[in-house]
Amino acid sequence: MKKQVVLYKKLSAPLMACLHEQAEVTLIESLDADGLARLRDALPRAHGLLGASLKLDAELLDLAPDLEAIASVSVGVDNYDIDYLTERRILLSNTPDVLTETTADTGFALILATARRVVELANMVRAGQWSRNLGPAHFGSDVHGKTLGIIGMGRIGEALAQRGHCGFGMPVIYHSHSPKPAVEQRFNAQYRSLGELLQEADFICLTLPLTAETERLIGAEEFAQMRPQSIFINISRGKVVDEAALIEALSSGRIRAAGLDVFEREPLNLDSPLLQMDNVVATPHMGSATHETREAMARCAVDNLLAALAGERPANLVNPSVWKD
C-alpha cells in the first residue's frame, strides 16, 4: 500500500508525477484559512509532509500520529521544533547546497544595488526627474577593493566570499563559530571577532541561520560599532536583526545604507519605515527565487521524502540522531 503524502507546496508536473507514482498525494494549494483547515483534516492520515514557509509546531503535528518524515523545501529549518521531531523520531530533511550559488548571487546584487544606489536612481529616471548630469548628491560608492565582512561562514558565506575576492578584488574578513582555514587559504580571508568585523568592514553581510543564539544578534550596540560609510546586507533571516535598531541606524545616518532580502515579519508591513527610505533596497525574500534553483530545491525535497518513506536515510537529514543504521 502506498504511503500518504501531504504536499503544501505546488510542484512542477514531472515532480508531481514522480510523487503520485510512489505515494498517495494530497495537495494543499494555499495556506489561507481554508487551506489550513484542509491540512488539519489530512494530517491524521499523513506519513510524509513536503512544503515550505509554514510553521509546523507540536499542536499541528500532534494531529499526525503516523508521521514518519518531513521534507522542507528550504535550507533554513527555523519553522520546525527539531527537539519535538527528534523525540517523535520524525525524520526532517532540508535542501542545502542547491540554493547556495543563487542566494549568494542575491547577496551580491544587494551589495551592488545599495552601493551604487541603483533602485533609487532608477526610480528617479522613471519619475521623470533626470533633468541634468548627476552631481555629488547622487553619487554612490565603489564596491571593488572595499572590505567585505561576512558574518556566518557557511556554504552561502563562502560563495559570497568567492564573488567578492575573485570578482571584485575585495579583502574578505569574516566572523563564524570557529576559524575556517580552507576559506582563509582560498580567498585570503581573515577571521575577526564580531566587534572587529563591524568596525572594519565596508560591507557587513549576514549569512547565518536563525537559532536561539543568533536571534537579534545585530542590535543597537552592534550598529553603533559600524562606521557611517558601512553598508549592511541581510540575506539570512530577518529575526537575526533588531529591526527597530536597524531603522534607527539608517534614519540617523549611523550607517550609509542597507540591502535587505529578509525581515522580522514577512511580507513586510506596508507602513514599515524601511519602505520610505531611499537608502534601503528591500526585496521580497527572493534569495533562491529562480526557476532553476526552486526546481532543484523541490527535486531535492522529493528525493529526501521518498527515501525516508522507503526506509532509506535521506541525503539531507537535519536530525541524524533519529536514524539508526
- Percent of residues, the chain, with pLDDT higher than 90: 98
Q: Is 177 a catalytic residue?
A: no
- Digit-coded pLDDT (tens) for 118-142: 999 999 999 999 999 999 999 999 9
Per-residue model confidence (pLDDT) at position 1: 85
For residues 226-236, give the mean pLDDT. 98
- Digit-coded pLDDT (tens) for 285-324: 999 999 999 999 999 999 999 999 999 999 999 999 999 7
Per-residue model confidence (pLDDT) at position 252: 97
55 φψ region: left (φ > 0), alpha (ψ -120 to 50), beta (else): beta
116 φψ region: left (φ > 0), alpha (ψ -120 to 50), beta (else): alpha
Confidence of residue 213 (pLDDT cuts 50, 70, 90): very high
Superfamily of the domain at 100-282:
NAD(P)-binding Rossmann-like Domain (3.40.50.720)
For residues 46-71, give the mean pLDDT. 96
Cβ density class 223-237: b for 16+ within 10 Å, e for less: bebbeeebbbbbbbb
Q: Is 285 a catalytic residue?
A: yes
Rounded distance between C-alpha atoms, residue 33 and residue 30, angstroms: 9
Asked if domains 3-98+291-322 and 100-282 share a fold, the reply is yes
| Contact call for residues 48 and 4 (beta carbons, < 8 A) | yes
| Contact call for residues 104 and 153 (beta carbons, < 8 A) | no
For residues 235-255, give the mean pLDDT. 98
| Contact call for residues 88 and 64 (beta carbons, < 8 A) | no
Candidates 29, 266, 292, 312; catalytic one: 266
Per-residue model confidence (pLDDT) at position 171: 98
Rounded distance between C-alpha atoms, residue 313 and residue 187, angstroms: 34
Helices 100-115/155-162 angle, 10° precision? 50
User: Could you check whether the bond before residue 171 is cis, i.e. omega within 30 degrees of 0?
Assistant: no
For residues 220-247, give the mean pLDDT. 98
- Digit-coded pLDDT (tens) for 11-28: 999 999 999 999 999 999
Side-chain-facing half-sphere of 25: CA atoms under 13 Å: 22
- Digit-coded pLDDT (tens) for 152-176: 999 999 999 999 999 999 999 999 9
CATH number of 3-98+291-322: 3.40.50.720
- Digit-coded pLDDT (tens) for 249-265: 999 999 999 999 999 99
Candidates 38, 165, 192, 285; catalytic one: 285
**Which amino acid would we find at residue 145?**
G
The answer, yes or no, to whether residue 51 has pLDDT greater than 60, is: yes
Candidates 165, 237, 254, 256; catalytic one: 237
Q: What residues does each domain of the chain span?
A: 3-98+291-322, 100-282
The answer, yes or no, to whether residue 186 has pLDDT greater than 90, is: yes
Per-residue model confidence (pLDDT) at position 146: 98
Q: Is 295 a catalytic residue?
A: no
Per-residue model confidence (pLDDT) at position 325: 55
The answer, yes or no, to whether residue 10 has pLDDT greater than 80, is: yes
- Model pTM? 0.93
The answer, yes or no, to whether residue 32 has pLDDT greater than 60, is: yes
Instruction: Report the mean per-residue pLDDT for the chain.
Output: 97
Per-residue model confidence (pLDDT) at position 198: 98
